[in-house]
Amino acid sequence: MTVFWCESAILDAHAAAAVRIEERGGLITAVEVGVRPRDTDVILVGLVLPGLANAHSHAFHRALRGRTHAGGGDFWSWRERMYGLANMLDPDSYFELATAVFAEMVLAGYTVVGEFHYLHRRANGESYEPGTAMEDAVVAAAARAGIRLTLLDALYLRGGLSATGDAMPLDRTQARFSDGSVEAWTTRREAVSFGPLARPGIAIHSARAVPEERFRAVAEAAGGLPLHAHVSEQPAENAAVLARTGRTPTELFAEAGLLGPNFTAVHATHLSPNDIHLLGGTSSSVCFCPTTERDLADGIGPGVDVLAAGAHLSLGSDQNAVIDPFEELRGLEMNARLASGERGRFTPAELLDAATSAGYRSLGWDGGALRVGALADLVAVSLTSPRTAGAFADQAWLAATAADVHTVIVGGVARVSGSTHELGQIGELIAAAVGRLG
Ligand SMILES: [Zn+2]
């Protein structure tokens, strides 16, 4: 058992002073407010938030950070660079890179990540031996970095759609993304072993990469696991799917029975009014990735409308060009301000919910809240840094950055203390992992 005494903490979206949080077996077992610390308590100064959730990540994209900004381009030309990187990874280099990237996430205050994983096979398209070598690398990397993981194991069956909606074969890079069939995907997935900090989830890469006639088979294989899909990130995706089927991607997912509380639509940048109605009416989740969506010039998603319709909003770092949960939640609000000409499109409490409990929910964990019974995941933020000094505690997440996180607790275990991750200098780990890839 560990007891944390917090100078201040967020309980039910409000800041409370002098809070004792008791942890046993990785869960919060008691919360007391307005009490003095005892001698054996671990003291957390500043503001303690619930663990922050990164509901959508591709860890290996981190190796492109700061390397793709010359020469213009768009999402599709960036994707060519990303494919070049994907070609170079094997289980060892994937483990090294993902460990460093997950550690960067923990250092920034993320306590759980949904890794949307599609590098399943060798670069030539043949299976590894064992067939789960790449999945095992991700699970081991998360354990080493001390972050909770939902491995969103993605189904990927075709190379995409032409502008007129014709199915395209897998290209040389995409061959390693595909198991070849829903059945082979299920068999490989079910052979993955998970430790105490990790659990399975599934994903449809997108309506581009999976034929719509396979969606029902995915629904049958889902078994109550979290199910994520890239949805309508680019207008060209919508146009191609409409040309092929007369439906939007969201309408296709709805017809196959995939929407619902276990479903998360990632990006959802270019939704129709009916898409918003379908996602909201089924209590689905929508995961925005503001720092990626601006980096890739995707556009601004309809966050306000999606929330009003009844969907749950979560946040993800996606391509990891930025790893900062505060930047993502601010991006959600600031994008909506720019698009509407109005401030306060979300309340501070709604933004924190998107960054914490809604993200945990999307990934299948009961956490992201400082209450009895929840996972004992805590993030302590300085309120005296140049960025946060003077901020109200119940708005501090609109002022803080990842650099203000000084302590991170995952399941009652301190992974970051004194602003240092237990693995040491994370910048050096990342430099070594990226350097190895040339
Ligand atoms: Zn993604």
Residues 11-40: pLDDT tens digits?
998 999 999 999 999 999 999 999 999 999
Predicted pLDDT of residue 13: 87
316 CA → ligand 1 middle, Å: 9
Percent of the chain that is helix, strand, coil (3-state, to 5): 35, 25, 40
Predicted pLDDT of residue 71: 85
How much is the average pLDDT of 133-155? 98
Closest CA to 259 of 232, 222, 288, 208: 222
Average pLDDT, the chain: 97
Q: End-to-end CA distance of the chain, in Å?
A: 45
292 CA → ligand 1 middle, Å: 9
150 CA → ligand 1 middle, Å: 14
Predicted pLDDT of residue 234: 92
CB 47, CB 9: distance < 8 Å: yes
Predicted pLDDT of residue 161: 97
Cα–Cα dist 178/125, whole Å: 8
CB 249, CB 224: distance < 8 Å: no
pLDDT tops 90 at residue 356: yes
Cα–Cα dist 352/334, whole Å: 14
pLDDT tops 90 at residue 194: yes
Query: Band of the pLDDT at 72, cuts 50, 70, 90?
Result: confident
59 CA → ligand 1 middle, Å: 10
357 CA → ligand 1 middle, Å: 20
How much is the average pLDDT of 394-420? 98
How much is the average pLDDT of 115-124? 96
Strands 167-168 and 14-24, by their bridges, are unpaired
> What are 227's strand-pairing partners?
202, 263
pTM score, two decimals?
Answer: 0.98
139 CA → ligand 1 middle, Å: 18
Predicted pLDDT of residue 149: 98
Predicted pLDDT of residue 240: 97
* pLDDT above 90 coverage of the chain, percent: 97
11 CA → ligand 1 middle, Å: 31
Neighbours of ion ligand 1 (CB under 5 A): 318
Predicted pLDDT of residue 326: 98
4 CA → ligand 1 middle, Å: 36
92 CA → ligand 1 middle, Å: 22
263 CA → ligand 1 middle, Å: 15
Query: Band of the pLDDT at 340, cuts 50, 70, 90?
Result: very high
- Under 8 Å CB-to-CB from 260, ≥6 apart: which residues? 282, 283, 284
